[in-house]
Amino acid sequence: MAKEKVILAYSGGLDTTAIIPWLKENYNYDVVCCCVDCGQEEELDGLEERAKLSGASKLYIEDITDDFADNYIVPCVQAGAVYEHAYLLGTSMARPGIAKRLVEIARKEGATAICHGATGKGNDQIRFELGIKALAPDLKIIAAWRDDKWTMQSRQDEIDYCKAHGIHLPFSADHSYSRDRNLWHISHEGLDLEDPAHKPDYDNLLVLGVTPEKAPDKETKVSIDFVKGVPVAVNGKQMSVADIIRKLNKLGGKNGIGIIDIVENRVVGMKSRGVYETPGGTILMAAHDQLEELILDRETMEMKKKLGSQFAQIVYEGKWFTPLREAIQAFVEKTQENVTGTANMILYKGNIIKAGTTSPYSLYSESLASFTTGDLYDHHDAEGFITLFGLPIKVRALKEQEREAAAKKPKKTKSAGKKTAAKKTTAKKAAKKK
């Protein structure tokens, strides 16, 4: 009788490499590895050999880079989705695309389960599992780190386990940050970063670029063209969204752009410290914001900011495949109909400096904004507007003045009232006698 198949979300890292023999020993599964390529680049080197030496029967390497760029990154850029004012959702928005492809491979292989190596403390377990539940509620999900049969409690335990099974690893417990890389970013967690009092050792940490201090003492000019909120060209050259991000990653990394050190609130309730490199993404988000300033009216912009924050929360929490995400995205797409134009910027030592914005749909009117009086706007018109706009404030202040004045008036006492009444009675009696 053939063994049941499990699809393992395989990155080639320590966790998922150790999980292959563990699944075979504890569940007697036929392990099919699936590495979903979201732009990891050289991290995929040697993966097939490592997977098979670890006991996998097969390895899929599925390239979804363009799908990731077009259908996950672009909606987040258009929404202005930023988690806790800093995190550009690099890991978060890749997970639903990975979950979708894992389900597709599971169907193709006739697998009964999908396994992931996300820990029981992290966000990824939620993102993977919510995606799988939404797309394939019938499939079993195995979370190794939460399984009672999983006895390894540290990276060193996993290394020792792999060595005992004859698996060679190209990393060690002492010099290996926990990293996640894709087209959009790379994250760094663990080791010395677990203490927020420690300054990151950027010289040994950074992968995509350099610190602003080490960036060239020279400006780099860049222009990005958008059509309906979608980036289409860099410096006048038409490219796919994925290639635009690759180009901006190089320019941004070279100029020390997009490095953040953040303590974020995970979905499971704890705080987590990480360093993120998002050079191209930081430039792209800034360019999109720069263009929207020119095009969106005030009320649409205000509503979009509110929904953009909620969109970020949804993506961060792994709720991509939900009606709410679809509804907010539909609103955002409507706002993008006129977001067409060019954002010009200067990159310099970690800074993104505006260098001019143009759009055929610009709502900016120089004659209106100018300090010079023109035909479209009479300065005196502001008087009536301010009177009406400030009326609630003025009425409130007037009512407060009335209350204060009333409080200052002397009050008549009861005894004074009795004396006055007695005087009146005496006066009446005297009148009668007369």
Residue 108: pLDDT over 70: yes
Quick one: pLDDT band at residue 255, thresholds 50, 70, 90? very high
CB 55 within 8 A of CB 3: no
Decide if 178 is catalytic.
yes
* pLDDT tens digit sequence for 120-131: 999 999 999 999
Residues of the chain with pLDDT > 90, as a percent, come to 81
**What are the tens digits of pLDDT across the range 369-384?**
766 656 677 888 899 9
Q: Catalytic residue at 195?
A: no
Single out the catalytic residue among 37, 124, 180, 225. 124
Q: What is the mean pLDDT of residues 312-333?
A: 98
Which tokens in the block code for residue 365? 């009117």
Given this model, what pLDDT does residue 380 score? Answer: 86
6 confidence band (pLDDT: 50, 70, 90)? very high
Name the active-site residue from 95, 127, 179, 246: 95
pLDDT band (50, 70, 90) for residue 48: confident
Is residue 15 part of the annotated active site? The answer reads yes
Q: What is the pLDDT of residues 80-93, one digit of tens each?
A: 999 999 999 999 99
pLDDT band at 41 (very low <50, low <70, confident <90, very high): confident
Q: pLDDT tens digits for 17-35?
A: 999 999 999 999 999 999 9
Please tell me the predicted confidence (pLDDT) of residue 43: 74
Catalytic residue (choose from 11, 15, 225, 359): 15
396 given a catalytic annotation: no
pLDDT at residue 162 greater than cutoff 70 = yes
Catalytic residue among 11, 54, 178, 359: 178
**Domains detected in the chain:** 5-175 (3.40.50.620), 185-296+339-364 (3.90.1260.10), 369-405 (no CATH)
Cα distance between residue 99 and residue 344, in whole Å: 36
The pLDDT of residue 285 is above 60: yes
Q: What pLDDT is stored for residue 372 in this prediction?
A: 64
Confidence at residue 203, expressed as pLDDT on a 0 to 100 scale = 93
Instruction: Tell me, yes or no, if the pTM score tops 0.85.
Output: yes
pLDDT digits (tens, 9 = 90+) for 341-395: 999 999 999 999 999 999 999 999 877 776 665 667 788 889 999 999 999 999 9
